[in-house]
Amino acid sequence: MLCIYTLNSHAAGLLSPADGSIPPLAIRDHRVNVIIQDEYAITTVEQSFFNPHDQDLEAVYSFPIPESASVAEFTMWIDGQPVVGEVMKREEARNVYTTEKNAGREAGLTEQQGHKTFDVTVFPVRGAQETKIRIVYIQPILIDHSIASLVYPLEEGGVDEEKLQFWTSNDTVTGVFSYDLHIRSASPVEAVRLPAHPAASITQVSPGEWKVHLDNMAPSPQQEEGAPTPKVNVRLDTDIVVYYRLPDATPPSVNLVTYKPLKDKPGVFMLTLVPGDDLAPITSGSDWVFVLDLSGSMVGKYASLAEGVERAIKQMRPEDRFRIIAFNNSAWEITKGFVSATEENKHAYTKQVASTKPEGSTNLYDGLSMALGKLDADRPCAILLVTDGVANVGLTSQRDFLDLVGEKDIRLFTFIMGNSANRPLLRAMTEASGGFSMAVSNSDDIIGKILQAKSKVTHQALNNVRLQISGIKTGEVAPEQLGAIYRGQRLMVFGRYFGGGEATLRLTGKVGPETKDYSTRFEFPEVTQDNPELLRMWAFAKISMMQKEMDNFGENPDIKGAIVDMALEYGLVTEYTSMLVVREEVFQKLGIERKNKARRETEKAAQSAREGSPAQDRRADSASPMFTGRRANLGSSGSAGAGAADGLFIMTLPFLAAAALRKGRQTTGRV
């Protein structure tokens, strides 16, 4: 039986105009298949809509996808056959869609709506008939402290008031809902868990292969043998979060995945560096400032966030101090300055936080500004910003926040909650300060997230990180600026390379005044055809880097043109490009090259070949290890304590925070 807990957030459901004349259409079936291999995941979503009315209708399906994911396919069934979409400039795609719709012919369109969601528009959903679509997206896997996490986002977030006023949603599945995940790892996987869905079926096939199944079939104890199994209506309003854990003894490594089908043409690579546990703990007392969002958009999230704050405060030592600031239309202080982390103060102030109700608008700038105004220069300090990151009152531009962060010698660490959070803003502040960020779902595990965060801010960091590859020619690397590496964190870099052969990889950085230098040598293959999806992932990383530059400094025609060109070449949906489906004869008539269809055929053939062979070990530095010792994990020396590694496998509570620190105090007890 499928267990989905409902929260007061707008779900990722089928939408129809809220004029009262036509009820929302029904979501009949919703099937999700995920395959994880070679450190990235391919998610395929097939959805069918049913129109119970006599007239043909247009349907709009709004859904969030993970921030690091790129949409690779939008397919619509026409005359019973799947038709794969092609990427076009946004205005051109919309014009073709409108023309086909007005002519009464089948058409579909996938568009990115800012940083929040993607909208899939389909016409027609025939009267008394069913319409089927498929969406495929690709994303790298995030691993922190040897614990990997994957989110299938379903909560829209409930922060787009204009959209909520115009649309109503029907997020109930009346037919089949299923979620299937297949993990294929060359290394052992110790455990798999879905904290918000304890009824999921989890099966270990081999040390590195696991399968997860979740559906809405609910057999009854009184059900007669041979009788059809009844279906339970489920709601698409709770994220599906999967954790899987690598053994604590897994060594640090450099992992390399490449795609280079032709010897005389450039290839692409995904390089993942997993450092050892050589960042020392900081033992001095610290100050913690909590900045809590009490705006109306936090309804449905705030109780969970208050629980997260309570858990974080309970983790503090007697020599620590904390301060609590709240904001909605404006900011105010709950603790009236720093208070000692005594048991009495912990209980009194966490109780006060839990009893507060969110309302009003979001003056994020005032809340953060107040937190930065009274820091004690003699003590290490962390600032925890608890928000969904949607600023709508006071100063709201990204430039304002970057200037604010730049006024203080701080590091900003962001834990982003909710699929509608202003992720570009929060990521930009984080990167500008050299901090780290972490996305958190309502279905996440609060204890584990707090332990991961605490392990980072209570240990030294490797700052001013530089990565150099010599021996072979490389270029167009993303990201270009690497910032800092924190305890338990891995570094993932995409790029192009030419030729092949042995290369030297060198990583340098500073821990306080001390320079750290790591290096290794390994081979880049001249030809490899296993992972064509890397082309999209590399292009997406480059586009994200260019988009961040425009978010920070304003729109630039040259950069925008480069984004459009790369999106058209590699079949990516962006704010400036969309994916269009029309009849095959219309593609031909309009002279639209079927590039994405061909790319998807190549990707699917490679995926099928990978699934038919054992998972490959992608470690590149086995012969010349780059790092020594063991990977950081939550149960190792100097971390949150014995048994902490099970934090992500204990409870089901969400958490969001952002932590800021002064720069340059690494060797004097800085958190």
In a domain, 431, yes or no: yes
Q: Do the domain assignments include residue 341?
A: yes
Q: What mean pLDDT is predicted for residues 168-191?
A: 85
Give me the mean pLDDT over the 649-666 stretch.
Answer: 35
CA 320 to the chain's CA centroid: 32
Instruction: Give the model confidence (pLDDT) of 530-574 as tens digits.
Output: 999 999 999 999 999 999 888 878 889 999 999 999 999 999 999
Question: At 448, is the pLDDT very low, low, confident or very high (cuts 50, 70, 90)?
Answer: low
The beta strands (E) that lie in 418-557 are given as: 437-440, 463-470, 473-478, 491-498, 501-511, 514-524
Mean pLDDT of 618-631: 94
46 part of a folded domain: no
User: Tokens 């110790």 — which residue?
Assistant: 190
Report pLDDT for 227: 56
Q: Phi and psi dihedrals of 241, rounded to 5?
A: -110, 125
Question: Which positions ≥6 away from 534 have C-beta within 8 Å?
Answer: 257, 258, 259, 268, 269, 270, 494
Res 581 pLDDT > 90: yes
Percentage of the chain with pLDDT > 90?
47
Q: Higher-confidence residue: 439 or 505?
A: 505
Span of 11-25, 542-556, 579-593, 598-612 with lowest mean pLDDT? 11-25
According to the model, what pLDDT value does residue 144 have? Answer: 86
- Tokens 């480069």 belong to 562
Lowest mean pLDDT among 8-12, 389-393, 633-637: 8-12
User: Cα–chain-centroid distance for residue 192?
Assistant: 19
The confidence score (pLDDT) of residue 450 equals 65
Residues 15-40: pLDDT tens digits? 555 555 676 677 888 999 999 999 99
* Average pLDDT for 222-250: 71
What are the residues facing 497 on neighbouring strands?
267, 474
Report phi then psi at 462, rounded to 5: -90, 110
Buried b / exposed e over 200-222, threshold 16 CB at 10 Å, is: bebeeeeebbbebebbbeeeeee
Band (636; pLDDT cuts 50, 70, 90): very low
Please determine, for residue 163, whether its predicted confidence score (pLDDT) is greater than 70.
Answer: no
Report yes or no: 63 and 237 within 8 Å, Cβ to Cβ. Answer: no
Q: Is residue 156 part of a domain?
A: no
Cα 220 to Cα 229: distance, rounded to the nearest angstrom = 8
The number of folded domains in the chain is 1
Rounded-to-10 torsion of CA 403, 404, 408, 410? -100
Q: What is the pLDDT of residue 381?
A: 77
> Which is more confident, 607 or 307?
607
Instruction: With respect to residue 443, please indicate whether it lies within any of the assigned structural domains.
Output: yes
The yes-or-no verdict on residue 666 having pLDDT over 80 is no
Write down the pLDDT at residue 657: 35
Please tell me the predicted confidence (pLDDT) of residue 445.
Answer: 65
What value does the mean pLDDT of the chain take? 83
Q: To which residue do tokens 């404006």 refer?
A: 330
What share of the chain has pLDDT > 70, as a percent?
Answer: 83
Whether 373 maps to a domain, the answer reads: yes
Reply yes or no on whether the pLDDT at 127 is more than 90: no
From the list 298, 286, 357, the residue with the least C-alpha distance to 323 is 286
Q: How much is the average pLDDT of 36-65?
A: 88
Q: Could you tell me whether strands 70-78 and 81-84 are parallel, antiparallel, or unpaired per DSSP bridges?
A: antiparallel
Task: Report whether pLDDT(264) > 80.
Answer: yes
β pairing state of 26-37 and 177-184: parallel
pLDDT at 2: 32
pLDDT at position 619, please?
96
| Residue 455 resides in a domain | yes
- Separation in Å, CA 569 to CA 86, 265, 561: 11, 16, 12
- Please compute the mean of the pLDDT values over residues 137-152 and round it to a whole number: 91
Q: Is the pLDDT of residue 494 over 90?
A: yes
Scored b (16 or more CB within 10 A) or e, 60-97 reads: bbbbbbbbbbbbbbbbbbbeeeebbbbbbebeebbebb
CA angle at 434 for the pair 654 and 440, rounded to the nearest 5°: 10
User: What stretches of 554-642 adopt beta strand conformation (E)?
Assistant: 577-582
Range of the domain at 334: 287-460+647-668
For residues 353 and 294, what is the distance between their CA atoms, to the nearest angstrom? 10
> Do the bridges between strand 473-478 and strand 70-78 make them parallel or antiparallel, or are there none, so unpaired?
unpaired
Q: Is 406 helix (H, G, I), strand (E, B) or coil?
A: helix
Residue 662: per-residue pLDDT? 40
Tens digits of per-residue pLDDT, 279-315? 888 777 888 888 888 888 777 777 777 887 888 888 8
Q: Would residue 22 count as lying in a domain?
A: no
In sequence order, what DSSP letters do the residues of 300-334 get, joined into one string? Answer: TTHHHHHHHHHHHHHT--TT-EEEEEEESSSEEES
Residue 651 sits in a domain whose CATH number is: 3.40.50.410
What does the pLDDT read at residue 272?
96
pTM of the model as a whole? 0.85
Burial of 591 (0-12, 13-18, 19+ CB in 10 A): exposed
- Whether residue 139 contacts residue 40, with contact meaning beta carbons closer than 8 Å, is answered with yes
What is the tens place of the pLDDT at every residue in 81-119? 999 999 999 999 999 999 999 999 999 999 998 765 788
